[in-house]
């Protein structure tokens, strides 16, 4: 995401840089000037690179499938 950093943190949500990061969409005319910590998860997901990746059509061998169904965990072999 593109945006700017604030001088002081604003908001309680998110993690990492969220309290000091204002996305360009929030600075644009009609934007509310919120940091990503002040946005709802839905609003943040709508503009985040992760949200864009999940919405992008995927074709070919690198296709990713998304399912809300739980998957079984694969066994983990621990190295010592």
> Mind listing the pLDDT tens digit for each residue in 15-55?
899 999 999 999 888 889 999 999 999 899 888 866 666 66
Evaluate if residue 73 carries a pLDDT over 70.
Answer: no
Distance, CA of 31 to CA of 46 (rounded, Å) = 14
- pTM given for the model: 0.62
Q: How many residues does the chain have?
A: 80
pLDDT the model gives residue 66: 54
**pLDDT for residue 52:** 66
* 3-state secondary structure (DSSP) of residue 49: helix
Kindly state the tokens that stand for 8: 């002081």
Query: What is the distance between the alpha carbons of residues 5 and 32, in angstroms, rounded to a whole number?
Result: 15
């Amino acid at each position: 995401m593109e945006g700017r950093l604030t001088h002081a943190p604003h908001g309680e949500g998110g993690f990492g840089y969220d309290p000091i990061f204002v996305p360009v969409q929030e600075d644009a005319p009609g934007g509310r000037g919120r940091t990503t910590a002040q946005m709802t998860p839905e609003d943040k997901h709508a503009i985040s690179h992760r949200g864009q990746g999940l919405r992008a059509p995927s074709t070919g061998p690198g296709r990713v499938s998304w399912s809300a169904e739980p998957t079984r965990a694969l066994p983990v072999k621990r190295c010592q």
